[in-house]
Amino acid sequence: MKYNILNYYEKPKLVEWVPDDYWKIGFEFFVRLTVDAAIIDGDRICLVRRREEPFKGVWHLPGGFVRKGESLVDAVKRKAVEETGLEVEVEAPIGVYELYDPRGHIVTVLWRCRSKDGALKGHARFFDVNNLPRGIGFQHEKLIAEILEC
């Protein structure tokens, strides 16, 4: 799968915060773009335990929403550090997936990553791919199955 950034006419200014009212409108009327990081270490994959709703307390791949003005690769790196404490090398996109979570319609780009530096945060953990936790959130068990096929 290819990934490239086409030339901007003018690169949008990075938006780091959105007021709650606009955030909710976005879910109500538009498809939202996210990225997910498949941080692979041999036969292990990194998952994080969700700290807020939806799916609070459930394991999932690290990832989240892309901000306006942020490249997809930069978003993957940001979310990996925020959620796992690990700096990652983003190797390649694995695929693009549509899903519906309790908030709305989401399109996510799944990326193969490798840990470069950092220490795992308490809510992040590497799991053996043959011994994953039950009840993985956001339909990520389907994404993990595809990762293992690659």
Burial class (CB in 10 A: 0-12, 13-18, 19+), 64: middle
pTM, two decimals, is: 0.92
State how far the alpha carbon of 2 is from the alpha carbons of 92, 97, 136, 144, in Å.
8, 15, 28, 20
CB neighbour list of residue 82: distance below 8 Å, 6 or more residues apart: 64
Give 38-87 pLDDT, tens digit per residue: 999 999 999 999 999 989 999 999 999 999 999 999 999 999 999 999 99
Which CATH number does 26-149 carry? Answer: 3.90.79.10
The Cα–Cα gap between 98 and 56 comes to 21
Q: pLDDT per residue over 84-134, tens digit each?
A: 999 999 999 999 999 888 888 999 999 999 999 889 999 999 999 999 999
Q: Give the integer Cα–Cα distance in Å for 38 and 144.
A: 8
